Amino acid sequence: MQKDRIKKNKWKQLHLYYTYTGFYKFILDGLKSAFLPTVIIVGALLYVHYNVININVALVNFTQNYSDFAIFSVFFASESILGLIPPDIFIAWTKNTDHPILFLSILALLSYLGGVVSYLSGKAMLLIPSVNKFMFTKMSKHITNMRKWGGFLIAVGALLPLPFAMAAMAAGMIKFNFKNFLLFALLRLLRFIIYGFAIYQML
């Protein structure tokens, strides 16, 4: 009974802390900012699919023009460098491959490893004073949030449509515990399962 009470008080304290520091507002604002681009991308895909060219046919043609290795390489580079290309495009591509589940799993793993690369890049910047100073200025907001929320920010970035690579890099720049980072970042794999199921049903 006492252990349950202590555990309950601990979660209550965490809730109050995240409320006070604006964690929930940050998530809400992030989702709001990601909502419109997501709607635009999905809307554009559906419009093209039903009014211009069948997306599945287009993706098959795309697959025939580029090797799987080339596509995976572009995706990994994107996930390692601030997530420049929306991963949903690549998830849609996997549906029309010969092994969709396998390829989706590879994407999830590459995205996870891309986050690791971003973390290590952030940590490596500490060794170059000029670059470190520049990046700390450019990413001051992300770094401040990482110091306040740590693993929860990594988890949110991994699971929700928020910049995971930015969160990973900020974690490296503040020397967030690497083992804990790897643990929280595993939620990136879950994101691909959820989004993969949704996109496969849509197309």
> Helix H segments across the chain?
2-20, 23-47, 55-65, 68-80, 87-95, 100-124, 129-138, 140-149, 151-159, 164-173, 178-185, 187-202
| pLDDT of residue 200 exceeding 90 | no
Sign for the pseudo-dihedral over CA of 181, 184, 186, 192: negative
pTM of the predicted structure, to 2 decimals: 0.76
Nearest-angstrom CA–CA distance, 164 and 190 = 13
Mean local confidence (pLDDT), 77-85: 83
Q: pLDDT tens-digit profile of 105-161?
A: 999 999 999 999 999 998 988 788 877 777 777 777 778 888 888 788 898 888 887
Residues of the chain with pLDDT > 90, as a percent, come to 25
Mean local confidence (pLDDT), 97-101: 89
Q: pLDDT tens-digit profile of 11-29?
A: 777 768 778 777 777 777 7
